[in-house]
Structure 1
Amino acid sequence: MQVTLKKYVLELKHTFSISRESHDFQDSLVVGLTLNGKTGYGEATANPYYKITVASMMEEIKSIEYEINNFELGNPEDFHAFLKERGLSNFAICALDLAAHDLYGKLKEKPLYKLWGTSNKNYPITNYTIGIDTIDKMVEKVIEKPWPLYKIKLGTNNDLEIIKELRKHTNATFRIDANNAWTPEQTLELAPQLKKLGVEFLEQPLHAENIEGYKAIIDKCPLPIIADESCIVEDDVEKCAGLFTGINIKLTKCGGLTPALRMIKKAKSLNMKVMVGCMTESTVGISAIAQLLPQLDYVDMDGAMLLKHDIASGVKILEGGEVVFPSINGSGVTLL
């Protein structure tokens, strides 16, 4: 295989804010793997919370570039195991793993969801994310982008007021992501009121390390609780059982589609709901997530919808949430 690396700076339509950070641009690494005239593409975004930069990912991959170029791709799982053995970060592994899956599907002349024995006839629709802002700005964003399902980022001093005001402007279902910002007491106080306001579930309301807090609220909270920062890698899935209703898998954090498929299987065996989320990726990363749709209960794959300009074609999300899968195989990605 021949590996290529390219950095992109993705400009967002709006400043994106959560409880711990804000940004207007998202640095992203796109990896290409070429074999027999076909090229597969994968993506991983930089993340200051996890101390990951595009430069650091490039350095990791370049350190084993010779080995990658000489690797015989039998299947993506073997390639992923090879990358793990080389000690790369999960973010760098994700970009390479997504590229390997896309390439593998293109070589096999099938979309990934078909290679996995699933059908794309039924799938959950993605939410559209509204980042933290002034209440007026958050209302403007909802009005600007009518959507049947919103994820609302919270973690402010007026969280309930925000939801009450947004509810005046839409009948859409709400999901709440507090990004570790609440206490157990806040969660139990807010949850009944939020449920009455049409909230579907709470994502990571408490800090990931607050195990005792999650033990205290899981049976008392009237809303389902989904793990995000508490479920990063495969070993975390079983740890979340009994503390959370479900898990949110991020491909960049766990290391790509290969471990994500195992995490989905494990979570289902534990009777947990399964969601896959995004990290403001372009259509490169979103198209990989879309291949998992038939296996999911929930999905957050609006990353490319939040960008001013996309960098690739692949899966398209129409108004209202319908997904159009590309005719190209693999993940169906082509760089623009």
Structure 2
Amino acid sequence: MNLSVERVSLELAETFTISRGSTDRTDNVVVRISDGGHEGIGAAAPSTHYGETAATVEAAIERLRPTVEAVDDPFQVERVERELAHELGRNPAARCAVSIALHDLVGRHTDLPLWRYWGLDPDAAPDTSYTVGIGDPETMADRARRAADAGYGTLKVKVGTDDDRARVDAVAEAVPDATLRLDANEAWTPKDAVRNAEWLADYDVEFLEQPVPAADPEGLRYVYEHSPLPVAVDESCVTLPDVPAVADRADVAVLKLMKCGGLVEARRMVHAARAHGLDVMLGCMIETDAAISAGAQLAPLCDYVDLDGSLLLDDDSDPYEGPVRAGGHIDLDDQPGIGLR
């Protein structure tokens, strides 16, 4: 097999702000793996929060190149992912790009989309939510209104400011029929999270995502035990061993391909979460469709989906198109592999 790497620069449609900072653009790294006249495509969306950049991804993939190119059977994806994790335990986004490309290659060899190759039900894929980043109340209300007008029925509202209530009030008033989820990205203290959950319950918020720092597991337990709203964990649930660790202090495990390192590991995490009585949400970073599309293939396994990473990009920024549509619907058709066009 042959492997090639390309960095792509992606411009966002609007400045995107969460409690940790803002961004207008991001770099992804696209991986192509060719074998037997077929080519699989995948991508890494590195996050500095997890210690990765586009440069570290490129360097990591170069380290992995000999292992990948030595593979004589692309269908051995579990063995390959195991070897990649052994060689490079960190750099999950880099490993994920290779995982996606290999799975896409398998789909192209078989002329099957991954959802069908795995035996999943395409009609079971939930629609994705759409994220409203932090801004002043009027800006957030306008963004929410535009998203609802575009067909998004569920909005994930970023919080973690000095006046979250004013922002949530504005959004709720602007889109009274939308389902709201709140994501604090670790910004609250446990007591603040519980106090906030009490007034947020008046808005029928679906759940709170990562209300407290991942470094405070007992604080998370406190919120879980006292919050009137369900609690979802993202930064507290990165890899497979984290699933049982959060099972007694959360309701929803948030999985991301770029955190866990690949599609094999993500499927294991889904099943582990089910075994521990957790609901599952599949999330993403800000990603090209060469990465988002892989997550979409897993969507039928999940209760909630937050795969809007490519939908936040400027219309001309992403060179790929996948099954996640504007308005939030995930159209799992017969396009082979991860479903790129």
TM over 0.5: yes
Cα shift at 1:215 = 2.0
- Structure 2 matches for 1:57-206, cutoff 5 A? 57-72=57-72, 73-87=74-88, 89-146=91-148, 147-170=152-175, 171-206=177-212
Cα shift at 1:122 = 2.0
Distance in 2, matches of 1:199 and 1:184, equals 18
Distance in 2, matches of 1:210 and 1:105, equals 41
Which has more strand, going by share of residues?
1
Cα shift at 1:228 = 0.4
The answer to whether the Cα contact below 8 Å between 2:284 and 2:308 also exists between their aligned partners in 1 is yes
Identity of aligned residues (%): 35
> Residue 338 of structure 2 corresponds to which residue in structure 1?
331
- Segment of structure 1 superposing worse, 258-267 or 115-124: 115-124
Distance in 2, matches of 1:196 and 1:53, equals 40
- Segment of structure 1 superposing worse, 39-48 or 96-105: 39-48
The amino acid across from 1:148 in the alignment is G
- Structure 2 matches for 1:279-318, cutoff 5 A? 279-308=285-314, 309-318=317-326
The amino acid across from 1:127 in the alignment is S
> Residue 235 of structure 1 corresponds to which residue in structure 2?
241
Deviation sequence 1:185-215 (CA, Å, 0-9, x none): 1111111211211310000000101112122
Cα shift at 1:326 = 4.2
SS of 2:211's equivalent in the other structure is coil
Cα shift at 1:100 = 0.7
The answer to whether the Cα contact below 8 Å between 2:112 and 2:334 also exists between their aligned partners in 1 is no
Distance in 2, matches of 1:314 and 1:122, equals 18
Distance in 2, matches of 1:144 and 1:11, equals 19
Count of matched residue pairs: 333
Q: Which runs of 5+ in 2 are unaligned?
A: none
Q: Which runs of 4+ in 1 moved over 6 A?
A: none
The amino acid across from 2:249 in the alignment is L
Distance in 2, matches of 1:145 and 1:175, equals 14
Deviation sequence 1:232-260 (CA, Å, 0-9, x none): 01111110110111110110110011100
Cα shift at 1:116 = 1.4
- 1:36 pairs with 2:36: yes
The answer to whether the Cα contact below 8 Å between 2:209 and 2:233 also exists between their aligned partners in 1 is yes
Q: Which runs of 5+ in 1 are unaligned?
A: none
